[in-house]
Amino acid sequence: MRDKTILVIDDDEQIRQLVQSLMEQEGARVITASGGESALRQFYRYQPDLVIVDMMMPLMSGWEVCRRIRELSDVPLMMLTAVQGDQETVRALTLGCDDYVTKPFCPSVLVARANVLLRRAHLEHGRQPDCNYRDGYLTVDLDAQCVRVEGEPVRLTPTEFALLSLLVRRAGKLCTFEQIIDQLWPEGVGGSEAAVHTYIWQLRQKLERDPHNPQYLIGLRGRGYRFDPLSAEKLSSFS
């Protein structure tokens, strides 16, 4: 994360200072904010490479901050919160966050997760893919990192795009949970079958005509997922 800019948003001064110190020790430039409004101003001004945001803040919650940032950018987002539970984790991922860390946290784990998000964003930005996908409904241009549905661009988070890229490159072949987790979370931090399910559901919401009857992102119970290119017969009935 050397020379990367990180925005840390938390109304707890001790937490802000701790996270700032941890990231600066790794060589990052850290910008801090104690509330949502000031955080958005800092975001517009500095265009950070990573945002770490607390969920529970007065006036403007971390949820709202993330929602507003996601409307404008696919920058990696990490939610940092004292609220625990699967429902809150799913809500954060559904909102577009790329990771969810609960307080109290292990400093080394927080740094590792931040590094994973930054590395993933960097790899996806600089990757030279050797395959793309296009039919009359969905276009996935891995070279340009562009996804379109019926000609309209679709905004994906870095993690969503990384998962879709993996599946498209192996179109027609099963990607097991182990393979997906190894590729998306190479440091072994943050990955789980539940997280994969959540990101697949998010992709289906954005890409499938009917998310409850997916045509592209096909799950094999207990094994993993595959990307199915539409056959001519399937495409004709699909349209």
Q: Which of the four pLDDT bands, split at 50, 70 and 90, describes residue 131?
A: low
Spatial distance between the Cα atoms of 36 and 44, rounded to a whole number of angstroms: 12
Q: Is the pLDDT of residue 235 over 70?
A: no
The span from the CA of 224 to the CA of 211, in Å, is 17
What's the longest Cα–Cα distance across the chain? 60
pLDDT digits (tens, 9 = 90+) for 143-164: 788 899 999 999 998 889 989 9
Q: What is the DSSP string of 112-134?
A: HHHHHHHHHHHHHHH---S--EE
Give the span between the Cα atoms of 57 and 75, in whole angstroms.
21
Torsion sign across C-alpha atoms 68, 10, 158, 200: negative
Print burial letters for 121-158: b (CB count within 10 Å at least 16), e (below 16). Answer: beebeeeeeeeebebebbbbebeebebeeeeeebebbb
What rounded mean pLDDT belongs to the chain? 86
Residue 233 has pLDDT above 80, yes or no: no
Our separate counts of H helices and E strands in the chain read 9, 12
Amino acid at 34: S
Q: Are 238 and 209 in contact (CB under 8 A)?
A: yes
pLDDT at 187: 63
Domain boundaries, the chain: 5-126, 133-238
Mean pLDDT of 16-31: 95
pLDDT recorded at residue 126: 52
Least confident of 94-98, 114-118, 156-160, 166-170: 94-98
Cβ neighbours of residue 18 closer than 8 Å, sequence gap 6 or more: 107
- How far, in Å, CA of 239 to CA of 151, rounded? 14
Assessment of whether the complete model's pTM goes beyond 0.75: no
Query: pLDDT at residue 59 above 50?
Result: yes
Which amino acid makes up residue 62? G
Fold agreement between 5-126 and 133-238: no
Using an 8 Å Cβ cutoff, are 119 and 76 in contact?
Answer: no
Lowest mean pLDDT among 167-171, 184-188, 226-230: 184-188
- 32 versus 61: which is more confidently predicted? 32
Q: Does residue 210 carry a pLDDT above 80?
A: yes
Question: Averaged over 179-206, what is the pLDDT?
Answer: 85
> Residue 179 burial (CB < 10 Å; 0-12/13-18/19+)?
middle
Strand ranges in 37-156 using DSSP code E only, listed in sequence order: 50-54, 77-81, 99-102, 133-134, 138-141, 146-149, 152-153
Peptide bond before 158: cis, by omega within 30 degrees of 0? no
Q: Residue 130: what pLDDT?
A: 47
Q: Distance between CA 45 and CA 47 in Å, rounded?
A: 6
Domain 5-126 has CATH 3.40.50.2300: yes
Of the candidates 235, 206, 218, the one whose C-alpha atom is nearest the C-alpha of residue 170 is 218
CATH architecture of 133-238: Orthogonal Bundle (1.10)
Which amino acid belongs to residue 223? Answer: R
